[in-house]
Structure 1
Amino acid sequence: MNHTDTIKQFLIKEFLPDITPDELDADHDLLTGGVIDSLGLLKLIAWIEGEFGVAVGDTDLDPDNFRTVAAIAAFADSAQRQRLAGI
């Protein structure tokens, strides 16, 4: 399972229990679409840190990093690469 599938599964379980992974478009705006509110964003960030073993720092808290499944996956990939590289 790649990051996109893992992220979709989490979002569906926590925020969208009535849809399937195929119905959640990777480019759907989760923030303006009302899927994730500010409390949900905190839950998502805590999950990302635990699931992918990365720290989400203050400079990472740009809403665009968490706006879509694709953006979350790209952020997680980048954070993991930086962690592995010791950056």
Structure 2
Amino acid sequence: MYVFPRIDFPPACEAEASRIGKQVDEFYAIELLNNTGICVVPGSGFGQKPGTFHIRSTFLPQEEDFPDFIRLFLEFHDSFMRKYE
């Protein structure tokens, strides 16, 4: 099963991604992997509409791992978004 959530990035995040030569969703995916070990694919590789950003993941955690996965992902996402407010 795939999840393909849309993410609205703050302008400061888009500026940082541009500064390092990355699409903003690629920047997010790399930071997510480096900080949590969660691997996703930037949506920009799938022809998303201009001005929209997504990530894609195959979502197959073991049921007992689901609470830890959700906690880890939410903690990262909240921290990442606060950093670029």
TM-score band (shorter)?
A: 0.3 to 0.5
Bigger fraction of residues in strand: 2
Bigger fraction of residues in helix: 1
